[in-house]
């Protein structure tokens, strides 16, 4: 076990907005990184979707990025007896098993002391700045190769912007810092009851955080084609063969031959045809209601959605608390919980940890695959 853990990925867990549930879901999930027991409501799964028995919950080396006192308070809230150990560099993690673990939590300080006193469950510039600085510190470590993946707890977009950081969210900050233009936000739901595919279901979005009035201008043949390749490249190693991809229509009834809009004829259909020429197993565009039902029943491994809610609503209905957000196209690995700051329940000790556990598991899987390719 010791040698396996020494070979396992180092994962940067960012606390997100300190006024939200981020710190406490990290604290609540921490014991399951070092236990044989699965928390209630989760299902461990291999790349083939088969349950893993006798395996510890996770074999990663997690390190928290945030403010040590905020993390300390979160552990106390969840009644977890652990020492929070501030560290300035990650060299000590080379001996992780001897220094850190269930009762000793490494924490990289990232933000000002004023973040400790931000009001819980409220929008504030101070909290937004703390989340921004925490994420950027983790990105610095990832770009320098000191961590193998970033797993983010949620930030609040309004707080972020009040602090003067004018980004729609995590995805765009990461893309900007990494200098990447071809990227996508994807939700991934691993194998579970009620989902026929043994490899889970992924949904990638052609447009991201934007007003609905902007969506039409942002949907191009090039964007649909690029996102189709990104989801194929993600799902292919997970499935072990070429994934089956379905592409959603933009308009109701798939435009009904141009009666309700012609984007399917002019843009989406030609993009699908081009993807087929490039050897993707892909079909569409199809009306979203039937498309998502087909995906649930195992016809597709991945879906290309045209806008945020088109993909989010469907996959969260299938598995709200197990879905994972993955940023595709980056030179670093980033996964995240698929929920927000949940200000209405923040710092009450009741936030669910299942999405955080799944985000860590997927990050670990991607990091191990990346190492195998090197």
| 343 within 8 A of 20, measured Cβ to Cβ | yes
Exposure string for 306-335, b = 16+ CB within 10 A, e = fewer? bbbebbbebbbebbebbbbbbbbbbebbbb
Question: Same structural domain for residues 152 and 94?
Answer: yes
| 33 & 175 share domain | yes
How many domains does the chain contain in total? 2
Q: What's the pLDDT at 338?
A: 92
Which tens digit of pLDDT belongs to each residue from 30-87? 998 877 555 555 544 333 333 333 344 556 789 999 999 999 999 999 999 999 999 9
Looking at 308, 324, 340, the residue that finishes a domain is 324
Does position 205 have pLDDT exceeding 60, yes or no? yes
pLDDT given at position 91:
81
The reported pLDDT for the residue numbered 98 is 80
Stretch (H or E) spanning 14: strand 10-14
pLDDT of residue 53: 32
Q: Angle at CA 124, nearest 5°, toward 118 and 127?
A: 55
- 241 plus 348 within the same structural domain: no
Q: Residue 190: which of 83, 334, 82, 42 has the closest Cα? A: 42
Shared-domain flag, residues 343 and 294: no
CATH number at residue 102: 3.40.718.10
Claim to verify: residue 139 and residue 206 sit in the same structural domain: no
pLDDT value for 40: 55
Q: Give the whole-number percent of the chain exceeding pLDDT 70.
A: 92
Q: Is the pLDDT of residue 239 over 70?
A: yes
Average pLDDT on 246-250 reads 97
Same domain, 9 and 155: yes
Averaged pLDDT, 193-220: 92
**Res 59: pLDDT:** 65
pLDDT at 8 (0 to 100): 83
| CB 12, CB 142: distance < 8 Å | yes
9 contacts 364 by C-beta, under 8 angstroms? yes
Instruction: Determine the pLDDT at residue 58.
Output: 57
**Cβ atoms within 10 A of the Cβ of 175, count?**
20
Residue 186 and residue 150 in one domain: no
Structure confidence at residue 102 (pLDDT): 87
Same domain (yes/no): 142, 128: yes
Same domain, 87 and 174: yes
Domain of 227, in residue numbers: 182-324
Is 237's pLDDT higher than 70?
yes
Would the CA dihedral through 363, 367, 368, 373 be positive or negative? positive
Residue 1 has pLDDT above 50, yes or no: no
Mean predicted lDDT score pLDDT of the chain = 90
């Amino acid at each position: 076990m010791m040698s396996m853990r020494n070979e396992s990925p180092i994962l940067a867990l960012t606390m997100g907005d300190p006024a939200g549930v981020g710190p406490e879901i990290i604290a609540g999930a921490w014991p399951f990184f070092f236990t044989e027991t699965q928390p209630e409501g989760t299902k461990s799964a291999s790349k083939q979707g088969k349950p893993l028995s006798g395996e510890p919950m996770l074999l990663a080396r997690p390190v928290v990025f945030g403010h040590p006192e905020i993390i300390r308070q979160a552990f106390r809230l969840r009644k977890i007896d652990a020492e929070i150990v501030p560290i300035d560099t990650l060299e000590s993690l080379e001996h992780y098993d001897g220094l850190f673990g269930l009762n000793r939590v490494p924490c990289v300080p990232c933000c000002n002391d004023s973040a400790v006193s931000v009001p819980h469950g409220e929008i504030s510039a101070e909290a937004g700045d703390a989340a921004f600085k925490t994420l950027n510190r983790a990105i610095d470590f990832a770009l320098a190769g000191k961590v193998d993946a970033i797993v983010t707890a949620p930030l609040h977009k309004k707080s972020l912007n009040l602090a003067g950081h004018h980004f729609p969210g995590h995805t765009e900050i990461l893309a900007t810092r990494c200098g990447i233009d071809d990227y996508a936000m994807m939700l991934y739901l691993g194998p579970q009851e009620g989902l026929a595919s043994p490899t889970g279901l992924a949904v990638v979005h052609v447009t991201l955080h934007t007003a609905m009035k902007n969506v039409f201008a942002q949907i191009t043949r090039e964007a649909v084609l690029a996102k189709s390749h990104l989801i194929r490249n993600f799902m292919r190693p997970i499935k072990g063969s070429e994934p089956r991809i379905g592409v959603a229509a933009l308009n109701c009834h798939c435009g009904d031959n141009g009666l309700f809009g012609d984007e399917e004829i002019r843009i989406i259909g030609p993009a699908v045809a081009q993807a087929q020429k490039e050897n993707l197993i892909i079909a569409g565009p199809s009306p979203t209601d039937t498309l998502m039902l087909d995906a649930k029943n195992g016809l597709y491994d991945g879906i290309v959605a045209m806008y945020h809610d088109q993909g989010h609503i469907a996959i969260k209905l299938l598995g709200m608390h197990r879905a994972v957000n993955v940023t595709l196209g980056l030179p670093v690995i980033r996964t995240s919980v698929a929920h927000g700051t949940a200000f209405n329940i923040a710092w009450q000790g009741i936030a669910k940890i299942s999405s955080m556990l799944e985000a860590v598991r997927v990050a670990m899987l991607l990091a191990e695959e990346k190492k195998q390719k090197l």
